[in-house]
Chain A
Amino acid sequence: MTESVRTPVDGPAARVRGRAPLRVGPVSTVLRLRPLVALLGGLGGLLLVFACDLALGDYPISPLGVLRTLFGGGDAGERLVVLQLRLPRALTGLLVGAALGLSGAITQAVVRNPLASPDLLGVTTGAGAAATLVIVTSGTLGGISGLVASLGLPLVALAGGIVTAVLVGLLAHRGGVDSFRLVLVGIGMNALTVNVTLWLLTIGETQDAGRAMVWLTGSLNARDWDNVVPVGLALLVLVPVTLLGSHALGALQFDDDTVRELGVPVNVARGALLLGAAVLASLATAAAGPIAFVALATPQIALRTAGTPRPPLVVSMVFGALLVVGADLVSRTLFGPLQLPVGIVTAALGAPYLIYLLVHRYREVQT
Chain B
Amino acid sequence: MTASHIAHDPAARTAADTESLSGDGSAEGARNRLCARDLSLGYGERVVVDGLDLDVVDGTITGVIGPNGCGKSTLLRALGRLLRPKRGSVLLDGEPIHRMSTKEVARRLGLLPQSPVAPEGLCVADLVARGRHPHQSWYRQWSGEDESAVAEALALTGIGDLADRSVDELSGGQRQRAWLSMALAQGTDLLLLDEPTTYLDLSHQVDVLELIGRLHTESGRTVVMVLHDLNLAARYADRLVAMSEGEIAAQGPPGEVLTERLLHEVFDLRARVIPDPVTGTPMVVPAGGRQARGPEPENGALGTRGS
A→B interface (CB under 8 Å)? 1, 3-9, 13-19, 21-23, 26-30, 112, 244-247, 250-251, 253-255, 257-258, 260-265, 309-310
Q: Which chain B residues lie closer than 8 Å to A254 at the CB level?
A: 116-119, 130
Assembled-state Cα–Cα distance A7/B146 (Å): 10
Q: Which chain B residues lie closer than 8 Å to A21 at the CB level?
A: 142, 144, 147
Q: A8-B149, A261-B106 are in contact. Are A16 and B189 (CB under 8 A)?
A: no
Of A19, A258, A261, the residue contacting B129 (CB under 8 A) is A19
Q: Which chain A residues lie closer than 8 Å to B189 at the CB level?
A: 4, 6
Contact yes or no, A26 B148, CB < 8 A: no
Nearest opposing residue in chain A for B106, CB measure? A263
The 4 closest A-B pairs by CB, nearest first: A263-B106, A14-B151, A8-B148, A263-B134
Contact yes or no, B80 A261, CB < 8 A: yes
Tell me if B133 is interfacial: C-beta within 8 Å of chain A. Answer: yes
Nearest opposing residue in chain B for A112, CB measure? B119
Assembled-state Cα–Cα distance A9/B82 (Å): 31
Q: A251-B133, A255-B117, A264-B133 are in contact. Are A9 and B125 (CB under 8 A)?
A: no
Contact yes or no, A23 B138, CB < 8 A: no
Contact yes or no, A13 B144, CB < 8 A: yes
Tally of contact residues, B, Cβ under 8 A: 63
Nearest opposing residue in chain B for A10, CB measure? B148
Q: A8-B152, A29-B142, A263-B103 are in contact. Are A258 and B188 (CB under 8 A)?
A: no
Q: Which chain B residues lie closer than 8 Å to A30 at the CB level?
A: 129, 141-142
Of B102, B119, B125, B188, the residue contacting A260 (CB under 8 A) is B102
Q: Could you count the A-B residue pairs with CB atoms below 8 Å apart for me: how many are there?
A: 149
Assembled-state Cα–Cα distance A247/B134 (Å): 11
Q: Can you list, as one digit per residue, whether each of B183-224 has a CB less than 8 Å from chain A (1) or not (0)?
A: 000111100000000000000000000000000000100000
Nearest opposing residue in chain B for A14, CB measure? B151
Of B123, B138, B150, the residue contacting A247 (CB under 8 A) is B138
Q: A255-B117, A257-B82, A263-B102 are in contact. Are A3 and B108 (CB under 8 A)?
A: yes
A361 smallest CB distance to B (angstroms): 12
B182 smallest CB distance to A (angstroms): 9
SS class of chain A's interface: helix, strand, loop or mixed? loop
Contact yes or no, B187 A6, CB < 8 A: yes
Contact yes or no, A1 B94, CB < 8 A: yes
Q: Which chain A residues lie closer than 8 Å to B93 at the CB level?
A: 1
A136 smallest CB distance to B (angstroms): 44
A189 smallest CB distance to B (angstroms): 26
Assembled-state Cα–Cα distance A4/B163 (Å): 27
Assembled-state Cα–Cα distance A255/B142 (Å): 23
Of residues 89 through 106 on chain B, the ones whose CB sits less than 8 Å from some CB of chain A are: 93-94, 101-106
Q: Which chain B residues lie closer than 8 Å to A262 at the CB level?
A: 106, 130-131, 133-134, 186
The 29 sampled A-B contact pairs (Cβ below 8 Å) are A1-B93, A4-B189, A6-B187, A15-B151, A16-B150, A16-B154, A18-B123, A18-B126, A18-B164, A21-B142, A23-B144, A28-B140, A28-B144, A29-B142, A30-B141, A246-B138, A247-B137, A253-B122, A254-B117, A254-B130, A255-B116, A261-B106, A261-B110, A261-B113, A263-B134, A264-B103, A309-B120, A309-B121, A309-B126
